[in-house]
Structure 1
Amino acid sequence: MSKRAHPALAGKTAVVTGAARGLGRLLALRLAQEGVRCLLVGLEPEELDAVAAECGAGAAAFEADVTDARALHAVADEAEERFGGVDIVVANAGIATGGPFADTPAPAFDRVIEVNLLGSIATARAFLPALRRRRGYLLQVASLAALAPAPLMGAYCAGKAGVEAFAHCLAPEVAAEGVGVGVAYLSWTDTDMVRGADEDAALAQMRRRLPWPMNRTYAPEPAVERLLEGIARRRAHVYGQPWLRAVQGVRGALPALIGAFAPREIARLRTELEATRDRRAAAVGAGGAADMRARAGRGG
């Protein structure tokens, strides 16, 4: 997918959470190429500093946990003082865990919802005053998991369905103040999170047996271009993979469809799931490891 210029973005200031790696990093780099000053929020200071350097002059990195309201408000205050305001917020930070609900330790399951749902809500709460002043735009990164239930990914689906509902509720509340709110949907995209999930053989097998095109892993760059266009056009819905638009129209039928084939697949994987249950005590991938280190450092 070729890169397109978006002149409407030039001179704007954007906050991107979860910007140390993956989709957040790539989106920040593309925003910077369009002349956007990028304020990067995440848990990995060295990686954030490296991304800020790639983004060029004017970019800034902020180490903050999106579930820490005080830290987010401090970032919002500094953004106002140093940069004069914020035009765009991308609530992208997220983690994931996989496996049967009954086998997943409660702290690991609950932390996914805390980061993905409550962290996104905290992000909106911290930056909404700035967006109101600049008649800005908030993009909430959701997922195919908000549209379709994915057995063995209950925490991730619950969090992403929650942020979709939250964004849809928020949008009409702030529209009269000139603030736009959008929801971005992505399928399995080649990031550290997805690669980390695929290291679990049982989860990887389950994913490969999903119906096409849900069983594919997609390159992130085309998805980033679509997100960039959605931000530039302040769209209410942005689809990282075009076919996800069609899923919107049939989402009501998906629980029954998935409920028809998933029990057989889970039964087929039961032995392997049991044998590997001890590996699912934390979120997957490098981002999950970063979240665990940050919490350990805080005594959480």
Structure 2
Amino acid sequence: MFTSLAGKTVIVTGASKGIGRGIARRFGEAGLNVLVVSRHIADAQRVAGEIGPNASAFAADVTSPEDSAAMAEAALERYGAIDVLCANAGIFPAAKLGDMTAADFDHVIGTNLKGTFLSVSAVLPVMKAQKKGRIVITSSITGPITGFPGWTHYGASKAGQLGFMRTAAIELAPWNITVNAVMPGNILTEGMEGMGEAYIAATAACVPMKKLGAVADIANAALFFASEEAGYITGQGLVIDGGQVLPESPMALDEMGTA
């Protein structure tokens, strides 16, 4: 599987760390040319160096139409095509209602939701001319399915990405462009590791599989959506959370039993 991807080109936004870094590295392992995009060129260069000679770095702020257009132009100039866009860039600063300002709200929506729109818009001319393309959005379970105090703006942005995805999938289907989303639960990234062992253990206890997800779990799902093998799938969100959203109450976890 995934042999259809070798030699193709992917743009990964927000690729300097966490899930984005994992996606970029996994696509590189699969033989794609990878444009590693981050706001800071040094961070993007570091990840491109980890991937190898089939990757290169580009600095862009996804909230900027000009930066997004330049990103697409760089991929086309360097690799001659844009086969896949992984719209992964996102931020998640916490602020509860009453403390959250309009600027706080706009910053998160502007990066997570508008940034997705601008990234997709930037690659469309190339994908339409090719009459093919794959767009993979990094959404979340938070917003579309669950909630967490302090993340009303984040949850709104992630739910909004799915609304965007569904209509975009309809609009772009005539050009053989698919639009899908990965929806991570709690994933063991650098940020999660920084919260400490007690926090990680408490979070894992809420998951039926009793462990946090790995970045590779999300990257592999993104790779599948990007493949020819997934060519008849569009407008879908894939929850990758170890069953976290399934229990109707903590009692369900208590009643699981042990293997």
TM bucket normalised to smaller: 0.7 to 0.9
8 Å CA contact 1:188, 1:214 repeated in 2? no
**Which segments of 5 or more consecutive residues in structure 2 lack a partner in the other structure?**
250-259
Given that 1:52 and 1:59 are in contact with CA atoms closer than 8 Å, whether structure 2 keeps it comes out as yes
* 8 A Cα contact 2:208 2:242, kept in partner: no
Counterpart position of 2:156: 158
1:2-13 matched pairs, under 5 angstroms: 6-13=2-9
- Residue 143 in 1 paired to residue 135 in 2? no
Cα distance, 1:208 vs. partner?
4.7
- Kindly provide the CA deviation profile for residues 240-289 of structure 1, in whole angstroms up to 9, marking residues without a partner as x: 33537x76xx9xxx9xx9xxxxxxxxxxxxxxxxxxxxxxxxxxxxxxxx
**CA distance, structure 2, for counterparts of residue 176 and residue 242 of structure 1:** 35
Counterparts of 2:23 and 2:153, CA distance in 1:
25
CA deviation vs aligned residue, 1:111-167 (integer Å, no higher than 9, x gap) = 111100111111111111122223010001100012223332101101100111101
Shift of 1:72: 1.0
Q: What TM-score comes out, normalization by structure 1 length? A: 0.72
Question: Residues 25 and 51 of structure 2 are in contact (CA less than 8 Å); yes or no, is this contact kept in structure 1?
Answer: yes
Query: Is 1:114 the counterpart of 2:110 in the alignment?
Result: yes
1:167 alignment partner in structure 2: 165
Partner residue, 2:252: none
**Aligned partners of 1:66 and 1:93 also within 8 Å:** yes
Question: C-alpha separation between the residues in 1 aligned to 2:162 and 2:205?
Answer: 23
Q: CA deviation at 1:61?
A: 0.8
Q: Tell me how far 1:228 sits from its aligned partner.
A: 1.9
Aligned-pair CA distance for 1:70: 0.4
Distance in 2 (CA, whole Å) between partners of 1:74 and 1:194 is 32
- CA shift, 1:215, in A, is 9.2
For the residues of structure 2 that align with 1:94 and 1:161, how far apart are their CA atoms?
13
Distance 1:237 1:159 in 2: 15
Kept in 2: contact 1:227–1:238 (CA 8 A): no
Does residue 182 of structure 2 align to residue 184 of structure 1?
yes
**Residue matched to 2:240:** 240
Aligned partner letter, 1:12 = K
Aligned length: 240
* Aligned counterparts of 2:168 and 2:218: Cα–Cα separation in 1: 24
User: What is the match of residue 295 of structure 1?
Assistant: none
Q: Which runs of 5+ in 1 are unaligned?
A: 258-300
Does the 8 Å CA contact 2:44/2:57 hold for their aligned counterparts? yes
Instruction: Report what 1:271 is aligned to.
Output: none
In the alignment, the residues of structure 1 paired with residue 165 and residue 226 of structure 2 have an alpha-carbon distance, to the nearest angstrom, of: 15
- What are the within-5 Å matches in structure 2 for residues 187-206 of structure 1? 187-194=185-192, 198=195
Between Structure 1 and Structure 2, the one with more helix by share is: 1
2-structure distance, mates of 1:123, 1:215: 35
* Distance across 1 between alignment mates of 2:87 and 2:146: 21
- TM-score, length basis structure 2: 0.82
Q: Given the alignment of the two structures, is residue 225 of structure 1 paired with residue 225 of structure 2, yes or no?
A: no
In structure 1, what is the Cα distance between the partners aligned to 2:177 and 2:105? 33
The partner residue of 1:73 within 66, 69, 83 is 69
Q: What's the Cα RMSD here?
A: 2.7
Which moved further from structure 2: 86-95 or 120-129?
120-129
1:52 paired with 2:48, answer: yes
Contact 2:204 2:211 in 1 (8 A): no
> Cα 1:76–1:223, aligned 2, differ >3 Å: closer, same or farther?
closer
**Does the aligned pair in 1 maintain the 2:207–2:243 contact within 8 Å?**
no
Paired amino acid for 2:133: G
154-163 or 131-140, which moves further after superposition?
131-140
TM-aligned CA distance change 1:208 to 1:241, over 3 Å: closer
- Alignment-mate amino acid for residue 122 of structure 1: L
Match of 1:92 in 2: 88
Q: CA deviation at 1:43?
A: 1.1
